[in-house]
Amino acid sequence: MTIPIIAALLTYVLMLAAMYWHRFRRFHMTVMMSIIAFDVAMPFYLVATRDWKTRLLIEGDILSFGVWMHFGLIITLYVLYVIQVQTGLKMWRSSRKGLDAEELATTHREHRAQGMGILLARALVIATGAILADPADML
């Protein structure tokens, strides 16, 4: 396995722990925001350290279904992150403003459902990334 795949798997386990201990808000928010930053930075790291021109253009991988599926999953994950952060900020603001309990409960359910979607999308991103990993980069 390559180092980015191992790092992604470790952050996935950390994300599961933060979701399990969601009542510890400081821990939950710190871990989730750190993982979002990690996921946003990962493509920049990969572009800087891999020979994408050879792999995608010369070898023709740009036309493969796997590459486009992986790219679509990454975009889906980023969209879910944006929606999740917006819902989290809504919960945080509503707890300070003292909104009604029914609206807050609805927002909590939305946040949890989005979190499950993120877990699924992120698992698929990691799996497709592992499948697409260049065998020459394996340890």
Q: Dump pLDDT digits (tens) for 54-111.
A: 878 878 787 888 889 999 999 999 999 999 999 988 888 876 676 677 888 888 899 9
pLDDT band at 113 (very low <50, low <70, confident <90, very high): very high
- Give residue 35's pLDDT: 96
Q: Dump pLDDT digits (tens) for 5-40.
A: 999 999 999 999 999 998 898 999 999 999 999 999
Among 39, 49, 44, smallest CA distance to 118 is for 39
pTM, rounded to two decimals:
0.87
- Give residue 65's pLDDT: 86
pLDDT band at 1 (very low <50, low <70, confident <90, very high): low
- Give residue 64's pLDDT: 83
